[in-house]
Amino acid sequence: MAKKNNVVAVIAAFNEEKKISKVIRQVAKHVNHIIVVDDGSVDNTALKAKYKKVTILRHIINLGQGAALQTGFEYARILKPDVVITYDADGQFEASDINKFVKPIVKRKADVVLGSRFLGKALSMPQSRLIILKLGILFTRFFSNIRLTDTHNGFRAFSGEAINKIELKHNRWAHPSEIIYQISKNKFRVKEVPITVRYSKYSWKKGQKNTEAFKIPIELIIKALVNS
Amino acid sequence: MITPSQLLLASIILFVIWRTHAAYKKKNLSESFVAVWTIFWLGVLILVFKQDLVSQAAHSLGVSRGVDLVIYISLIVIFYFVYKILVLINDLDGKITQIIRKIAINEAKKRPHR
């Protein structure tokens, strides 16, 4: 399905030289084009990301995952995609799940497809992360009015039309909440699909710290205040 | 009679005015900013020695003590400045992000094999 339609994957990467190469090889089997946004890495991420089908965009300084995704979206629009997938660079996801995301969009049953580890499997997930994620789901549900089982998950898909309307202003940790608000604001049809998320020592070290989750409401409030 | 607290406050205000003018001489500050800043601090200096003026203003606004009025006004002004600084930082952050994004996309477009 991915080959017939123009499926583009956007991968934001910051100091991912150990994993990026493997992740790209896995994702490349399921998409037509990969955009890797090297978000100011100080290691060899950009070098390791070189592969067929891959375009590397380099932020000269680190801006954050939200900013990197928006850069990827803006470049993806040039490629006139049918589907844009967002995928984490740390190897937590299973690339074989990509087809589950593509199908509802090409069949025009959804504008946005979100991965849910709670409908699928979250392997080796620490208990503390589970609590933080559940709090995040409640927080996002309260403010966006969308009932989802997983909100802070980097595995998503957008239709070509939807990606033209997504405009992320939050550069750092608040961007997953912002995506949900924009889905709500644009009245996109959403579907959740079960995915497998595999926590490892590496992904735990690389990913968001539990304490950083508390910065999200503060970031959202400050941004709302200054943009009002 | 001049009290020690009035002397201390006056010294601080004069120091601020002196530093402002020193910065102006080094061309770090604009003429209009120096004028407004100096007038503001001279006003504060007058109020330090004419505290009955502050007390009268406080009473007319229903505040019991002059010093309370000064604190309330100071808090409002500080909150306003913090807000303006947040807006400025947010604006700068957005502009920096756009520049870096443009560089990243343009560089990729230039490459023969994207």
What is the average pLDDT across B1-9?
89
Q: List the domains of chain A with CATH numbers.
A: 7-227 (3.90.550.10)
Does the distance separating the beta carbons of B90 and A171 come in below 8 Å?
no
What is the average pLDDT across A46-75?
96
pLDDT value at residue A156: 97
What digits encode the pLDDT tens for the residues B55-112?
998 999 999 888 899 899 999 999 999 999 999 999 999 999 999 999 999 999 887 6
What digits encode the pLDDT tens for the residues A143-154?
777 888 988 889
pLDDT value at residue A142: 78
Between B112 and A112, the higher pLDDT residue: A112
Half-sphere exposure in the Cβ direction for A174 (13 Å, CA) = 19
pLDDT value at residue A63: 97
The residue of chain B with its CA nearest to that of A50 is B114
- The answer to whether A37 faces chain B, any CB pair under 8 Å, is yes
pLDDT value at residue A207: 66
**Residue B1 to residue A167: CA distance in whole angstroms:** 64
Query: CB–CB of A119/A186 below 8 Å?
Result: no
From A40-49, B24-33, B71-80, the region with the lowest mean pLDDT: B24-33
What is the average pLDDT across A19-25?
95
Does the distance separating the beta carbons of A61 and B100 come in below 8 Å?
yes
- Does this model's pTM top 0.80? My answer is yes
Query: CB–CB of A194/A120 below 8 Å?
Result: yes
Separation in Å, CA of B23 to nearest CA in chain A: 30
Q: Is the pLDDT of residue A2 over 60?
A: no
Does the distance separating the beta carbons of B83 and A225 come in below 8 Å?
yes
* Mean pLDDT for all residues in chain A: 90
Quick one: CA dihedral A105, A110, A114, A115, positive or negative?
negative
What digits encode the pLDDT tens for the residues A128-141?
877 888 888 888 77
Q: Is the pLDDT of residue A38 over 70?
A: yes
Q: Is the pLDDT of residue A205 over 80?
A: no
Does the distance separating the beta carbons of A171 and B93 come in below 8 Å?
yes
Q: Is the pLDDT of residue A206 over 90?
A: no
**Residue A15 to residue A42: CA distance in whole angstroms:** 6
pLDDT value at residue A28: 96
Interfacial A residues in 119-178 facing B (CB < 8 Å): 169, 171
Query: CB–CB of A183/A144 below 8 Å?
Result: yes
**Which of A60, A75, A222 is closest, CB to CB, to B105?**
A75
pLDDT value at residue B73: 92
Does the distance separating the beta carbons of A70 and B86 come in below 8 Å?
no
Quick one: CA dihedral A183, A135, A145, A143, positive or negative?
negative
The residue of chain B with its CA nearest to that of A57 is B104
ipTM value for the complex: 0.85
Burial (CB < 10 A; 0-12, 13-18, 19+), residue A59, is: buried
pLDDT value at residue A3: 61
Between B28 and B47, the higher pLDDT residue: B47
Between A173 and A187, the higher pLDDT residue: A187
